[in-house]
C-alpha cells in the first residue's frame, strides 16, 4: 500500500514539473512585480505630496522603501532559519501548535511556554539516552544539562502555577464601611432564613426523556411537548442531527420538564420559575438551584427549576450551533406558566389551586437571566414581534423578574434591546465573573419603565468576590468550564456558601417585597448596609429606582451641557472634566448617558503642589473650587414632606487632568491658580519642609486610594442653604478591581467598570441643619468637590423619590 501511494505521488510530481515555471520566468515575475509596484507606490507618494503641499511626504516615502527593503531581507532570513529546522521537528511543532490551540488555556502564552518547556525536556532526555551524553563535547554537555534543568523547572512552575487557588489583589477600601455606624439595620429576621413550611419535591415533564429517569418513567406529572421552530434557528446539519440523536426529539417537540419544590399545605402559594443559562447540554444545569428550591419552599413559595438543557451548547457547536435561541428560553417559561395555569384551574388535578397565579416571579441565570426579560416582554404582547403569524397572548400576572449574572442582547426583538414595563426587577452580578465579564443586567435595568399606578421597583446589585458559576451548585467555581481550571484566579472568590447566602438574602428579600408586599425589605436594595448582619462581608454596590421616582436630570435629553431633563439649567465651574456621554461597561455600553465631572488640584500652576493630605485638607479658594450645579426652573417639580433627594454615582478611572498637555497648557488663565497656590502654601507652613509629612515612599505606593467625598449644597428660593457631605450617606466607592485569570497578575491587568451606587438623603432630616430651609422651594443642587485632591465621578438620575417607609404597595 505504501508503494502504491508513493507511485501516485511520484506521478503527480512529474506532471506538475511539466508545467512548473522555470528560473527565467520566476525572475521575470519578480522584476515585473517589483517595478510595477514601485511605480504605483511612487505615484501615490508624489500625489500625496502635491495634494497636501508637503514635500516631507517624499522623504517619508523614501524611509518606507528603506524599511520595507530591510524587513524583506530579515523575513527571508527568518524563513531560511525556519526551513533549516529539521523536518521531523517541524512536523511535530505544527501538529502540537494545532493541538495546544484546541486546549482551552485562556492565553496563547501558555501554549508557547509549553512548547518550549516540553521541547527542552525531550531534548534533555534524548541526550542521556543510551550513553549519548558521553559522546558529546563539553560545551554541548553544559548546554544539554542547562536546557534539561530549565525544562524541569518550567514543568515545576506550570504545576505550581496551576495548583495554587489564586492570588489576592491589592487591598481596596470598602467605602460603605467607613460610615456604616450611621446606618441602622432593618429590624426583621434575615430574608435568607428558612421558613416554617415542610415541602415536597417532584418532577413534571414529557415522560420520554432518554437521559434522566426523573423526566422519564420517574416523572410525577406528564406534559405535552411544544413546537419551538418559530423561536429556534439552525437545528440542522451535523449539530442538529447529533442533538436530535442525543435527546430523541427536535425543535418540533420540545419538552416541558421541571423539578419542583412545593410547600405542604392547601395553598395557594406564590409561583416562582427559575431557568439556567448556557452550559454543556450533557452536564445538566437544572439541578443546580436546589439550595434556592429548598429555601423558597420553606418560605411558602413554589419553585420550579425549568429544564432547557436541550437548547444548550455541545461539542457539536464546532459544526454549527443553534442560533437566536434566547427568545425560545423565554417563550418556554411562558409555556410552563400555561401548564401551571391549566393545572391550577383543573379541579381533578392534584395541583388544583396550589399556585397563586396572581403572584408569579421568574428567575434566570446567565442566558436564563436574559431570557426572563424576554418572557416578561413576550407575556405582554399579542404577537411575536419578529413574526406576527405567531400568536402569543399569555398575559400572566408576572410581578417580579430576577436576573442572576445575565447576558444581554443575544436576542433583540426588532433589532433592539428587550423592553418591558411595570414589573419589579432585580439583577445581581459578581465582580469576579469570568464568563459574563460585564454587568449586562445593568443594561436591561435601564430599559425598564414604570407607567401604571401600581408600585414597582428595580435594583441592580454588584458584589465583589462573587463569580458566575457559584450561583448554581452544578457549575461551581470554574467559570470557563475548562479542564485546566488552574488558569483561573480563584483566590479572590468568596466561599461558595457565602455566595449562596448572598443570593438567598437578595432573592428572598426581593420576592417578599414583590410578591408579598413586604416593603420593609426595600431599603436593602438601596443600601446593602441595611442588611449588614445578613450579608457576608464584601463590597456591595446598589442602584435603585421605583415608580415614585421623579428625575430632574438623566442626561439623555440632548447634547447641550447646560440643559436638564425638566427644563432647568446645569452649570460647572473650574472643572477639569465636564461632558455628557454614554456610560461604558468593560465590554459593552450601558444604554444610558450621564455627566462626567472631574477636578484636579494637584498642580494648579508652575509645578507647585497643593500639598493635599487626607489628614489635613486645605481650604480650596473659591477662585479655583471645582463645582457643578443644577438650577430648577419655575416649571420643575419640587419636593414635598415625603421626599428624599436621590442620585446615582460611579467613579470614572479616566484622567482627572486631561488638559495637562498640548494647547491647554499655554492657553489657561493662571492668575487665580497663582493666588490659590500662595494661599495653600501659607496654610501648609506648619507641616514642615515642603509642606509634606515624612512618609515612606514604598509604603505610600501600596496605600489604596481613599474613597471619594464632596460637599452638597441645597439652596431654596429664599436663599436659605443646607450643606452636607456625600459621606453622610456613604463615601463614593472606588471602582472594584478584579483579576479573573492568574496571568492578569503578570500583566498587572485589573478588570473594572463603571458601576453605580444610588445615594439618598432625607430632606426633612437635613432641614435640621437650617430650619429656615424649605425643601418645597428647592432652587439649586450644587456639588462642590472639596474633599479630595482629584477625581472624576459619573452622575446620573438626579431627582427625588418618596421615603421608603411611606411606600404603599
Cα–Cα distances (Å) from 475 to 243, 284, 312, 482, in that order, read 22, 10, 14, 12
Whether the predicted pLDDT of 65 surpasses 50: yes
Q: What is the pLDDT of residue 125?
A: 82
Q: What is the pLDDT of residue 104?
A: 82
Whether the predicted pLDDT of 675 surpasses 50: no
Closest CA to 730 of 761, 699, 702: 761
**Confidence class for position 674, pLDDT limits 50, 70, 90:** very low
Give every CB contact of residue 657 below 8 A, 6+ residues apart in sequence.
576, 598, 600, 602, 603, 790
Q: What pLDDT, in 10s, does the model give residues 307-358?
A: 999 999 988 887 778 887 899 999 999 999 999 999 999 999 999 999 999 9
Q: What pLDDT, in 10s, does the model give residues 314-325?
A: 888 877 788 878
Q: What pLDDT, in 10s, does the model give residues 486-533?
A: 888 988 899 999 999 999 999 999 999 999 999 999 999 999 999 999
Q: What pLDDT, in 10s, does the model give residues 173-192?
A: 999 999 988 899 999 999 99
Mean pLDDT of the chain: 88
Q: How far is it, in rounded angstroms, from Cα 609 to Cα 603? A: 5
Whether the predicted pLDDT of 736 surpasses 70: yes
H or E element in which residue 307 lies: strand 302-307
Q: What is the pLDDT of residue 20?
A: 63
Closest CA to 651 of 714, 584, 589, 700: 584
**Confidence class for position 277, pLDDT limits 50, 70, 90:** very high
**Cell numbers at 2, concatenated:** 505504501
Q: What is the pLDDT of residue 328?
A: 95
Q: What pLDDT, in 10s, does the model give residues 75-119?
A: 888 888 888 888 888 888 888 888 888 888 888 888 888 888 888
**Confidence class for position 221, pLDDT limits 50, 70, 90:** very high
Q: What is the pLDDT of residue 688?
A: 38
Q: How far is it, in rounded angstroms, from Cα 445 to Cα 440? A: 9
Q: How far is it, in rounded angstroms, from Cα 661 to Cα 672? A: 19
Helices (H), 280-366: 290-298, 326-345
Q: How much of the chain is in helix, strand and coil states, percent to nearest 5? A: 40, 20, 40
Least confident piece of the model among 156-165, 545-554, 756-765: 156-165
* Mean pLDDT, range 588-606, rounded to an integer: 85
CA 362 from centre of chain: 21
**Is the dihedral angle over the CA atoms 224, 227, 232, 233 positive or is it negative?**
positive
Cα–Cα distances (Å) from 588 to 439, 441, 579, in that order, read 9, 11, 20
* Mean pLDDT, range 378-384, rounded to an integer: 96
Whether the predicted pLDDT of 663 surpasses 60: no
**Confidence class for position 732, pLDDT limits 50, 70, 90:** very high
Whether the predicted pLDDT of 144 surpasses 90: no
Q: What is the pLDDT of residue 539?
A: 96
Phi, then psi, of 14 in degrees rounded to 5: -65, -40
Concatenating the DSSP letter of every residue in 544-591 gives EEETT-EEEE-S-S-S-TTB-TTS-EEEEES-SEEEEEEEE-SSSEEE
Closest CA to 744 of 499, 496, 491, 495: 491
pTM of the full structure: 0.88
**Confidence class for position 691, pLDDT limits 50, 70, 90:** very low
Q: What pLDDT, in 10s, does the model give residues 774-801?
A: 999 999 999 999 999 999 999 999 999 9
Q: What pLDDT, in 10s, does the model give residues 20-48?
A: 666 766 777 778 777 888 888 888 889 88
Q: What is the pLDDT of residue 699?
A: 43
Strand order of the sheet with strand 221-222?
221-222, 199-205, 257-263, 302-307, 269-275, 355-365, 398-404, 424-430, 457-463, 540-546
Amino acid at each position: 500500500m505504501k508503494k502504491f501511494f508513493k507511485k501516485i505521488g511520484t506521478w503527480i510530481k512529474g506532471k506538475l514539473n511539466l508545467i512548473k515555471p522555470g528560473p527565467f520566468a520566476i525572475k521575470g515575475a519578480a522584476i515585473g512585480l517589483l517595478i510595477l509596484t514601485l511605480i504605483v507606490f511612487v505615484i501615490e507618494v508624489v500625489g500625496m505630496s502635491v495634494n497636501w503641499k508637503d514635500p516631507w511626504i517624499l522623504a517619508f516615502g523614501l524611509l518606507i522603501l528603506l524599511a520595507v527593503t530591510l524587513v524583506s531581507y530579515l523575513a527571508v532570513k527568518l524563513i531560511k532559519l525556519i526551513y533549516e529546522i529539521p523536518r521531523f521537528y517541524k512536523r511535530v511543532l505544527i501538529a502540537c501548535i494545532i493541538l495546544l490551540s484546541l486546549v482551552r488555556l485562556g492565553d496563547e502564552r501558555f501554549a508557547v511556554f509549553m512548547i518550549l518547556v516540553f521541547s527542552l525536556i525531550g531534548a534533555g532526555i534524548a541526550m542521556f539516552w543510551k550513553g549519548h551524553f558521553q559522546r558529546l563535547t563539553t560545551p554541548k554537555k553544559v548546554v544539554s544539562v542547562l536546557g534539561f534543568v530549565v525544562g524541569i523547572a518550567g514543568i515545576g512552575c506550570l504545576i505550581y502555577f496551576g495548583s495554587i487557588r489564586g492570588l489576592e489583589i491589592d487591598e481596596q477600601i470598602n467605602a460603605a464601611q467607613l460610615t456604616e455606624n450611621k446606618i441602622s439595620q432593618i429590624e426583621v429576621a434575615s430574608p435568607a432564613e428558612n421558613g416554617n413550611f415542610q415541602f415536597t419535591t417532584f418532577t413534571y415533564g414529557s415522560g420520554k426523556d432518554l437521559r434522566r429517569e426523573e423526566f422519564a418513567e420517574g416523572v410525577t406529572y406528564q406534559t405535552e411537548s411544544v413546537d419551538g421552530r418559530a423561536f429556534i434557528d439552525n437545528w440542522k446539519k451535523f449539530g442538529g442531527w447529533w442533538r436530535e440523536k442525543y435527546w430523541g426529539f427536535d425543535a418540533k417537540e420540545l419538552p416541558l420538564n421541571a423539578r419542583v419544590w412545593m410547600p405542604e399545605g392547601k395553598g395557594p402559594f406564590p409561583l416562582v420559575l427559575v431557568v439556567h443559562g448556557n452550559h454543556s447540554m450533557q452536564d445538566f444545569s437544572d439541578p443546580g438551584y436546589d439550595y434556592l428550591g429548598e429555601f423558597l419552599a420553606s418560605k411558602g413559595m413554589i419553585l420550579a427549576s425549568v429544564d432547557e438543557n436541550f437548547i444548550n451548547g455541545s461539542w457539536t457547536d464546532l459544526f454549527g450551533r443553534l442560533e437566536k435561541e434566547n427568545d425560545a428560553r423565554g417563550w418556554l417559561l411562558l409555556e410552563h406558566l400555561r401548564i401551571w395555569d391549566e393545572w391550577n384551574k383543573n379541579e381533578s388535578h392534584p395541583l388544583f389551586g396550589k399556585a397563586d397565579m396572581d403572584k408569579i416571579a421568574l428567575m434566570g441565570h446567565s442566558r436564563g437571566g436574559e431570557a426572563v426579560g424576554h418572557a416578561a416582554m413576550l407575556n405582554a404582547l399579542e404577537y411575536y414581534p419578529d413574526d406576527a403569524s405567531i400568536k402569543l397572548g399569555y398575559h400572566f400576572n408576572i410581578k417580579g423578574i430576577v436576573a442572576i449574572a445575565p447576558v444581554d442582547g443575544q436576542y433583540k426583538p426588532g433589532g433592539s434591546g428587550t423592553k418591558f414595563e411595570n414589573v419589579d426587577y432585580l439583577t445581581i452580578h459578581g465582580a469576579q465573573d469570568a464568563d459574563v465579564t460585564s454587568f449586562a443586567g445593568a443594561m436591561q435595568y435601564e430599559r425598564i419603565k414604570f407607567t401604571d399606578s401600581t408600585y414597582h421597583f428595580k435594583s441592580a446589585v454588584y458584589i465583589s468576590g462573587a463569580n458566575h458559576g457559584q450561583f448554581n451548585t452544578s457549575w461551581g467555581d470554574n467559570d470557563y468550564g475548562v479542564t485546566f481550571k488552574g488558569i483561573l484566579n480563584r483566590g479572590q472568590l468568596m466561599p461558595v456558601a457565602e455566595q449562596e447566602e448572598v443570593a438567598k438574602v437578595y432573592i428572598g428579600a426581593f420576592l417578599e417585597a414583590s410578591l408579598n408586599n413586604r416593603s420593609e425589605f426595600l431599603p436593602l436594595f438601596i443600601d446593602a448596609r441595611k442588611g449588614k448582619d445578613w450579608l457576608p462581608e464584601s463590597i456591595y454596590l446598589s442602584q435603585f429606582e421605583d415608580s415614585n421616582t421623579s428625575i430632574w436630570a438623566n442626561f439623555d435629553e440632548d447634547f447641550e451641557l447646560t440643559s436638564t431633563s425638566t427644563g432647568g439649567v446645569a452649570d460647572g465651574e473650574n472643572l477639569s472634566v465636564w461632558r455628557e456621554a454614554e456610560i461604558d461597561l468593560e465590554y459593552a455600553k450601558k444604554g444610558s448617558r450621564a455627566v462626567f465631572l472631574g477636578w484636579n488640584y494637584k498642580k494648579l500652576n508652575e509645578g507647585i503642589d497643593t500639598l493635599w493630605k487626607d489628614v489635613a485638607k486645605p481650604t480650596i479658594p473659591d477662585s479655583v473650587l471645582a463645582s457643578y450645579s443644577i438650577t430648577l426652573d419655575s416649571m420643575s417639580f419640587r419636593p414635598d414632606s415625603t421626599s428624599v433627594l436621590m442620585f446615582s454615582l460611579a467613579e470614572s478611572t479616566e484622567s482627572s487632568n486631561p488638559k495637562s498637555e498640548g494647547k491647554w497648557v499655554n492657553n489657561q488663565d493662571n492668575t487665580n491658580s497663582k493666588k490659590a497656590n500662595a494661599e495653600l502654601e501659607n496654610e501648609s507652613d506648619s507641616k514642615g519642609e515642603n509642606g509634606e509629612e515624612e512618609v515612606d515612599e514604598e509604603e505610600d505606593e501600596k496605600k489604596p486610594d481613599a474613597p471619594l467625598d464632596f460637599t452638597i449644597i441645597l439652596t431654596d428660593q429664599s436663599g436659605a442653604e443646607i450643606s452636607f457631605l456625600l459621606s453622610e450617606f456613604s463615601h463614593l466607592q472606588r471602582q472594584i478591581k478584579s483579576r479573573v485569570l492568574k496571568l492578569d497578575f503578570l500583566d498587572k491587568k485589573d478588570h473594572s467598570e463603571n458601576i453605580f451606587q444610588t445615594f439618598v438623603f432625607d430632606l426633612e432630616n437635613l432641614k435640621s441643619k437650617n430650619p429656615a430651609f424649605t425643601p418645597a422651594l428647592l432652587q439649586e443642587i450644587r456639588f462642590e468637590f472639596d474633599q479630595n485632591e482629584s477625581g472624576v465621578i459619573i452622575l446620573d438620575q438626579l431627582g427625588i423619590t418618596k421615603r421608603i417607609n411611606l411606600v404603599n404597595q
